[in-house]
Structure 1
Amino acid sequence: MHMFFFGTVKEWERHALFFLGKFYRMVEPGLYFYIPFVTRVLYRIDLRIITYTVPMQVGLTKDNIPVEVDAILFYQVMDPKACVLNVDNYHKATQLSARSSIRDMVGKSNLDELLAERDKIGKRLKEHIDGFVSKWGVTVISVEIKDVIVAKELEDAIAREAAAEREKRARVILADAEQLAADAIIAASKKYADNPIALQLRSMNMLYEICLEGKSSVVFIPTDKSMGAMPAFMGITSLEELMKKRLQEDSNEFEETDNED
């Protein structure tokens, strides 16, 4: 009389069936029967994508900055037989491989790369880990870098470096703008030199624009002798000196008239 046991395999599982200690077959989803004592199911393999949160990995970057990096690893069993026969614990082996690869990648990357090129580093990590786990029947779906934490005492220095870089770019842009403005002014001056009427119209327009502001403390005196028909201007102090000079001239003229009488 033969005695059979039965079992069921879920859609996302595979059962590794062993006969007298030797691998017999990988059981597909559904109902199956086996002889107890001589046949045993030793492993149940989950074929779904496994999500593993990698703990914080501490390391030094290529430019000698201490950082802490954590990531998320997505992996999946593609060959159930290989993951049973080729490695003791494929979950532990894959996760330890991910930790080691992240520390290795930190040492080969600059801090700027870790902060700005996470996608590229994630792809390199995927390829690197795949080199280890593929022989175990496991494939890496993706590696996502969650966070890169820099030592607190270095954050201010990094912030100052970024501010200095922005200041440098701003000054370069300002210098370029000054050069463009100077070139435009030189080109305009050549046109005004050949056309005095245009220069006079421009001077009148400048006077009109300043008058619209209503806040100017400068007195403009239109003239066609100074500054090439541009309106001459002077401040309140200069105007006071001009009035004193005018009064002095009137006084001298009055004294000369008295002397003649």
Structure 2
Amino acid sequence: MVLPCTDVFARVDLRTVTCNIPPQEILTKDSVTTQVDGVVYYKIHSAVCAVANVTNVHLATNLLAQTTLRNVLGTQSLSQILSGREEIAHNIQSILDNATDRWGIKVARVEIKDVRIPMEMQRAMAAEAEATREARAKVIAAEGEMNASKALKQASTVLAETPAALQLRYLQTLTTLATEKNSTIVFPLPMNVLQGFYKNSQKKTIRD
């Protein structure tokens, strides 16, 4: 029963409400201007507090979420915002939950949807990432060349200590060339054989 002169009827929805936080322009700790938006999930657990303690509980919660988002993100650097979204969202949730408890509000979850940074900052970050990738690729290539040179050094040591291994490698190379349908195969001669022919020719010239 509602008395027309003394009672006021108010309907309160106790289901979970989704509150979108519009993009907020924020100056981070390292003086970078960015825009951040989010979403807040909350519900009314006390209808009496929601009606008696605040004029418009949903508008008050929305405005408080906006100011809390700006205040919390203003104390963080850009790298902290990009890498610690979950921790920042949990911090905002705790602040909102404590502030809205007297309004009969229970904040269930806070999510940061998007972080928009200036285009110049995006280009600088992309250039830095590309330089890091190139430096890493050069380091990997240098390590690969070093390992290859060590392997060649070990192979040359083995071939120098074992002449038969050199002959086997020579025969293996000829086998590989023969399977590729080559019309011309060049047989290299060892330098010591050529030196022997050169010495014999010199001796013959002196005798003549």
The reply to whether TM is greater than 0.5 is yes
Counterpart-to-counterpart distance in 1, 2:73 and 2:3: 52
Counterpart-to-counterpart distance in 2, 1:59 and 1:73: 18
1:47 matched residue in structure 2: 14
Instruction: Report sequence identity in percent.
Output: 35
Counterpart-to-counterpart distance in 2, 1:124 and 1:209: 68
Is 1:146 the counterpart of 2:113 in the alignment? yes
User: What 5-or-longer segments of structure 1 have no aligned partner?
Assistant: 1-32, 227-248, 250-255
Q: 1:85 aligns with which of 39, 52, 77?
A: 52
Deviation at 1:69, TM superposition (A): 1.0
Q: Higher mean Cα deviation, 126-135 or 63-72?
A: 126-135
Q: 1:132 aligns with which of 99, 108, 112?
A: 99
2:75 matched residue in structure 1: 108
2:64 matched residue in structure 1: 97
1:223 matched residue in structure 2: 190
In the alignment, is the contact (CA less than 8 A) between 2:40 and 2:109 conserved in 1?
A: yes
Mark the structure with the bigger radius of gyration: 1
1:75 matched residue in structure 2: 42
Is 1:197 the counterpart of 2:161 in the alignment? no
Deviations 1:121-176 (A, max 9, x none): 33332223223223322122222222211122332222211211221222222223
Q: Higher mean Cα deviation, 62-71 or 80-89?
A: 80-89
User: What 5-or-longer segments of structure 2 have no aligned partner?
Assistant: 194-200
- SS of structure 2 residue aligned to 1:64: coil
| One-letter code aligned to 2:18 | T
RMSD: 3.4
Would the alpha carbon gap of residues 58 and 187 (structure 1) be closer, same or farther in structure 2, given more than 3 Å must change?
Answer: same
Would the alpha carbon gap of residues 78 and 172 (structure 1) be closer, same or farther in structure 2, given more than 3 Å must change?
Answer: farther
Would the alpha carbon gap of residues 213 and 54 (structure 1) be closer, same or farther in structure 2, given more than 3 Å must change?
Answer: farther
Deviation at 1:111, TM superposition (A): 2.4
More contact order relative to length (CA 8 Å, sep ≥ 6):
2
TM-score by length of 1: 0.62
TM-score by length of 2: 0.75
Deviation at 1:98, TM superposition (A): 1.2
- SS of structure 2 residue aligned to 1:44: coil
| One-letter code aligned to 2:24 | Q
| One-letter code aligned to 2:55 | D
Greater fraction of residues in helix: 2
